[in-house]
Amino acid sequence: MRHLQKNRKLNRTASHREAMFSNMITTLFEQERIVTTVAKAKEARSIAERLVTYAKKGDLHRRRLAARIIKKEDILKKLFEDIAERFKDRNGGYTRILKKGIRAGDSAPLCFFELTTIKEKTEEEKETEIKKSTKSKPKVPKKKTAEKEEVKETAVEESKEEEIKDTEKTE
């Protein structure tokens, strides 16, 4: 019986679970939204919320506790400077789980696991994103399509004229 058993094992060893959640949480704070299974997201939620609380307190001891889970120094810095600042007036509820659907391969329920306040893009980032999207689309001038239609029409007219000449010769 599972009395007082709090965590899901997710069919992994303890070291594998620890490494998996460390990678998931690091990616979550880096990208601020990840796609994972619902069971993994529910387990990772408690770790992520605890780390945001550590970041809000911000002292050296809390930074070292967070560094045990987040191994990348730049992500740790982002957590303690940027993310903690966004959640300073909020007491808990730093993450959300939004159901996405079912994975095709094994029918596992997927979800979006994200921070509740996603950083807004600056005007410069929006402009560069627009420039990138417009560069990738090939532009087809309308004149060329109109010319193609004219060529088709003249070809049809020529073929009709040839048919008329052929019928006149046979008569």
3-class SS of residue 37:
strand
Average pLDDT by consecutive 10-residue portion of the chain (171 residues)? 90 96 97 96 96 96 97 97 94 96 96 87 72 64 60 71 71 60
Q: Which whole-number Å values give the CA distances from 85 to 13, 53, 77, in the listed order?
A: 35, 11, 12
The pLDDT value given to residue 131: 74
The pLDDT value given to residue 54: 97
pTM for this entry: 0.69
Length of the chain: 171
* DSSP letters for 96-124: EEEEEEE-TTT-PEEEEEEESSPPPPPHH
The pLDDT value given to residue 6: 87
Residue 34 phi/psi, 5-degree rounding, is -135, 160
The pLDDT value given to residue 121: 65
The pLDDT value given to residue 28: 97
